[in-house]
Amino acid sequence: MYQIQTPYLLFLGDAPDQLAAKTARGINDWRPEKVVGQMSLENCKADLGLPELGLQEAYDKGARTLVLGTANRGGVISAVWMDVLKEALHIGYDIANGLHNKVNDIVDVAGLATQLDKNIYDVRHPTEQFPIGTGEKRSGKRLLPVGTDCSCGKMYTSLALEKEMLSRGMNATFRATGQTGILVSGSGASIDAVVADFMAGAVETIAPANEDPNHWDIIEGQGSLAHPSYSGVTMALIHGGQPDAMVLCHEPTRSHMRGLPHQKVPAIKEVLSLATTLAQIVNNDAKFIGICVNTSQMVARDIEGYLKKLEDEHGLPACDPYSQGTAKIVDMVS
């Protein structure tokens, strides 16, 4: 498994709005100590409030990887971007790319990297050959967030749990399964880009046996068992991850599953039951230890009451991992 060099210079390019830079924002939210600054082009409408640095200036401050953390306009890597990439390689940077477009497909940029012995990481496109999963019990402990839907806060939940565990002196590692997570941690596998036969094996590879029986792998969740586009990926995460503990992630304001107006959001109770049954196929002890709610779209005064209701209904601690932290949930396993 590769390990992307840090610190990073976050390239914001010519992002049309703040949302386009959400990958860069995620990196800076969770690993500010790995970030030297940001670099914007003309007309960039995103700003992370970091020092604005040129390539050479950031390199001199220690940056070793240029991170493409912004959606690119029109879905193509423009000529202006290519000049930046080539200059970065000449200065001595590796490139880590969170876009769908592969920098390794740009012949003269990829050729230059080879010539200069620099790395290009197209993190959405795994290059590693993973084994077929086995479901064999591995030492150490594992935690997996399981969502009622896609994009409801599973990565933030994972990172908040890791932060809380580390702050208590517990031994824990975030294991990334998507592009932002990989750029945050510097390692992992974009599980939704792995060939079907090897999905579970990829999860087993990124969350391997750990010598410390009390070490926690916090595996980034993906998709939802109730999302027909991606449920197979979620299934592979449950069986490849063989979690001891699961945390349900929920966004309470959705009127339907993300991107699918015809598909209703499942009841929390159903997902708790279904995921527990499936996880126990590979780990008899698998159970839910809490509920993480993404409250960002809720009316503020409703939040406490809603969380209390969830706790009463499901007998599990419930919190917003981002605004409240995950102490209540980590209490369940520490």
Q: Select the residue interacting with a copy of itself from 33, 262, 300, 312 (CB under 8 A).
A: 262
Q: Which is nearer to a copy of itself, 65 or 234 (CB)?
A: 234
Question: Does 247 help bind a copy of itself (rule: CB under 8 A)?
Answer: no
How far apart (Å, rounded) are the C-alpha atoms in residues 292 and 323? 11
Question: Does 191 help bind a copy of itself (rule: CB under 8 A)?
Answer: yes
Q: Select the residue interacting with a copy of itself from 282, 289, 307, 319 (CB under 8 A).
A: 282
Q: Is residue 249 classed as helix, strand or coil in its secondary structure?
A: strand
SS3 letters across 31-84: CHHHEEEEEECCCCCCCCCCCECCHHHHHHCCCCEEEECCCCHHHCCCHHHHHH
The mark string for 127-166 relative to a copy of itself (x by CB under 8 A, - otherwise) is -----xxxxxx-----------------------------
Q: Select the residue interacting with a copy of itself from 44, 53, 225, 318 (CB under 8 A).
A: 225
Whether the CB-CB separation of 207 and 238 falls below 8 Å is answered with no
Rounded to the nearest whole angstrom, what is the least distance from the CB of residue 285 to a copy of itself in the complex? 15
Q: Binding to a copy of itself (CB under 8 A): which residues in 194-213?
A: 194-197, 199-201
Buried b (16+ CB within 10 A) or exposed e, 81-107: beebbbebbebebbbbbbbebebbebe
CB atoms within 10 A of CB 184: 24
How far apart (Å, rounded) are the C-alpha atoms in residues 236 and 280? 13
Q: Which is nearer to a copy of itself, 19 or 195 (CB)?
A: 195
Q: Which is nearer to a copy of itself, 197 or 302 (CB)?
A: 197
Q: Select the residue interacting with a copy of itself from 38, 148, 179, 234 (CB under 8 A).
A: 234
